[in-house]
């Protein structure tokens, strides 16, 4: 079932939290997103093969899958884009991903040449036309992938943040917005310490997103942060978090 994050009648942002049953499927919980604007649609991080059937059925109420314009991939992990071949066959959409991952995407397909339908996003990011709006691909390199992008929607003021802000919750908990930040931290901290490469890039990211008008941060795993106050709590928290290579010592690199 879709959760409406935003809907003004012309512009709709949807989140799908329950397409992976992490208990039954033995897979990490992950979220998928649809932005529809005046008859045009973009999926953000549609997931792997286990989410494809549920997603393509659930989105029909809001937007016909056959008319999908774009898939926006934050990076190239399987839970982000492994279903690419099915979307290429069932729609005429194009896929946008970091330029360093664009040539890896054919490994997710059956061998057909989809070069003309893969758009490489430059390291600096770019504006993306969708219907009558323009989304922004924001650089988020090394958070956690070498080539990584987040997608900001200026209409809804939502930042679709990929793995930044992720929490390890089951799908029933994930669909609710964070209400108690301090109680939520234990669900985030281990993931961010391991997956974010270094505090240096977290600080750069925090400086960048503070220049945007953000009402909601919506990660690809777990619960979202709603409202400027909760958004600020998260940005302030990640800015100060030691992570990744900050925590490595010689003890981490020993012959077993």
Q: Distances from the Cα of 56 to the Cαs of 16, 19, 67, 125, 138, in angstroms?
A: 11, 11, 12, 28, 26
Tokens of 122: 């430059």
45, 52 Cβ separation under 8 angstroms: no
Q: What is the pTM of this model?
A: 0.96
Radius of gyration from C-alpha coordinates of the chain: 18
pLDDT digits (tens, 9 = 90+) for 134-146: 999 999 999 999 9
Give, in degrees to the nearest 5, the angle at Cα 215 between 214 and 218: 90
pLDDT in tens, the chain (256 residues): 799 999 999 999 999 999 987 777 788 999 999 999 999 999 999 999 999 999 999 999 889 999 999 999 999 999 999 999 999 999 999 999 999 999 999 899 988 899 999 999 999 999 999 999 999 999 999 999 999 999 999 999 999 999 999 999 988 999 999 999 999 999 999 999 999 999 999 999 999 999 999 999 999 999 999 999 999 999 999 999 999 999 999 999 999 9
Rounded CA-CA distance 118/68 in Å is 14
For 149-183, give one letter per residue: b (16+ CB within 10 A) or e: bbbbbebbbbbbbbbbbbbbbebeebbeebeebee
pLDDT digits (tens, 9 = 90+) for 200-255: 999 999 999 999 999 999 999 999 999 999 999 999 999 999 999 999 999 999 99
Tokens of 9: 């009648």
């Amino acid at each position: 079932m879709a959760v409406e994050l935003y809907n003004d009648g012309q512009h709709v942002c949807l989140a799908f939290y329950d397409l992976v049953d992490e208990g039954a499927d033995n897979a990490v919980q992950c979220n998928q997103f649809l932005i529809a604007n005046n008859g045009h649609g973009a999926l953000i991080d549609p997931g792997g093969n286990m989410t494809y059937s549920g997603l393509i059925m659930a989105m029909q109420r809001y937007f016909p899958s056959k008319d999908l314009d774009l898939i926006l991939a934050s990076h190239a992990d399987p839970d982000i884009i492994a279903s690419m071949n099915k979307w290429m066959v069932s729609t005429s959409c194009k896929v946008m991903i970091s330029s360093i991952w664009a040539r890896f995407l054919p490994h997710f397909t059956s061998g057909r040449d989809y070069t003309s339908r893969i758009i490489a996003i430059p390291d600096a990011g770019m504006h993306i036309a969708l219907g009558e709006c323009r989304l922004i691909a924001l650089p988020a390199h090394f958070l956690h992938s070498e080539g990584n992008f987040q997608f900001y929607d200026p209409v809804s003021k939502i930042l679709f943040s990929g793995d930044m802000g992720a929490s390890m919750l089951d799908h029933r908990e994930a669909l609710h917005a964070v209400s108690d930040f301090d109680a939520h931290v234990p669900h985030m901290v281990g993931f961010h310490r391991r997956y974010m490469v270094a505090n240096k890039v977290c600080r750069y990211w925090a400086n960048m997103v503070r220049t945007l008008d953000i009402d909601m941060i919506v990660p690809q795993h777990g619960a979202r942060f709603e409202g400027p106050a909760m958004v600020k709590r998260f940005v302030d928290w990640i800015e100060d978090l030691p992570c990744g290579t900050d925590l490595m010592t010689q003890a981490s690199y020993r012959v077993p």
